[in-house]
């Protein structure tokens, strides 16, 4: 058996991500399931006049798992209530590509939390000064300055995923 630790993605009903992650951690042997996690992003929101940083799901409806034994994992996942499916093509379960894993690591780090980014708008161009969005300006499709969010389109799971992350625009220059 090869000991390659692949990252896989499970599709679940939106809203059940946390409970499915807990079930996986509880019911699946550690030798089979190296890690089960949910990538988050930070969002700034004004609550009762105070700015708070909230954690929101980066990919609602998806749970990420790392395993070196997909066949065993597949069998043990049958114990998990509410799981819809592992992502793949037809009968084959496909791990995330190296690029996708690198993207997640660059974006969310070891903790898989995408921190707030900070940037400016110069004319019609967005320049990110700090945070995980730095160097990823090309993925930004829309910015909502009022909600302090950037809306991105990233190639994931064999198609384009729309995700949102926190972005504070500190200045707008004409």
**From CA 45, how far away is CA 50, in angstroms rounded?**
8
Residue 1: the pLDDT is: 41
Residue 158: the pLDDT is: 79
39-82 per-position pLDDT tens digit? 999 999 889 999 899 999 999 999 999 999 988 988 888 888 87
Residue 90: the pLDDT is: 63
Diameter of the chain by CA atoms? 59
Q: Tokens 């946390």 sit at which residue?
A: 18
Residue 91: the pLDDT is: 66
pLDDT in tens, the chain (174 residues): 445 789 999 989 999 999 999 999 999 998 999 999 999 999 998 899 998 999 999 999 999 999 999 889 888 888 888 776 777 766 677 899 999 999 999 999 999 999 999 999 999 899 999 999 999 999 999 999 999 999 999 988 878 999 999 999 999 988
Closest CA to 7 of 97, 71, 91: 97
Q: What predicted TM-score, i.e. pTM, was given to this entire model?
A: 0.88
**From CA 63, how far away is CA 96, in angstroms rounded?**
12
**From CA 86, how far away is CA 64, in angstroms rounded?**
10
């Amino acid at each position: 058996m090869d000991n390659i630790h692949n990252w896989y993605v499970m599709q679940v009903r939106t809203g059940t991500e946390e409970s499915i992650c807990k079930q996986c951690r509880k019911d699946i042997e550690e030798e089979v399931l190296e890690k089960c996690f949910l990538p988050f992003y930070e969002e700034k929101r004004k609550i009762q006049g105070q700015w708070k940083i909230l954690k929101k799901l980066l990919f609602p409806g998806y749970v990420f798992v790392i395993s070196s034994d997909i066949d065993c994992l597949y069998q043990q996942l049958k114990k998990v209530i509410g799981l819809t499916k592992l992502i793949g093509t037809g009968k084959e379960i496909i791990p995330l590509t190296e690029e996708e894993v690198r993207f997640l690591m660059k974006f969310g780090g070891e903790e898989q939390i995408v921190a707030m980014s900070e940037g400016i708008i110069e004319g019609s161009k967005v320049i990110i000064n700090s945070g995980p969005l730095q160097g990823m300006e090309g993925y930004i499709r829309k910015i909502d300055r009022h909600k302090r969010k950037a809306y991105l389109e990233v190639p994931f799971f064999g198609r384009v995923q729309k995700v949102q992350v926190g972005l504070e625009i500190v200045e707008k220059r004409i």
